[in-house]
Amino acid sequence: MAVSATAAVGAAASVFAWAACCVLPLALSLAGLSFAGAALIAGMRGWLTVLAVVALLAGWMLHWRRLRMCRREDACRRPSRLAAGLLVAATVLVMLSLAWQPLIEPWILLRLAAGQ
């Protein structure tokens, strides 16, 4: 459960770091807000993404290992649905962070520039 939650938090941090580069400051400036700390987080986006992927892989590995062990032993408690849901959510967030710069960011930037 803890690894699943860690993977979800890491994935969310990774998505936030990728968004902090260009789209988030532009959107906040359009709203009249400032976000000076975004530059620091944007600089760490590569490392945050790598850490999120490692935590996610560890979470899935432990989840599948427990499922496999519980198939052999009937006395074992199966992994919770919440842990599986967190792992799925973290996987989606990591995929979103990996697709951010090449696919999503250019699309959003065009939409924001057209709104000016």
What pLDDT, in 10s, does the model give residues 3-27?
667 777 777 777 666 666 666 666 6
Tell me the pLDDT tens digit for each residue of 27-84: 666 655 555 555 666 677 778 788 888 888 888 898 888 888 888 777 677 778 888 8
Q: Which residues contact 98 (CB under 8 A, 6 or more apart)?
A: 49
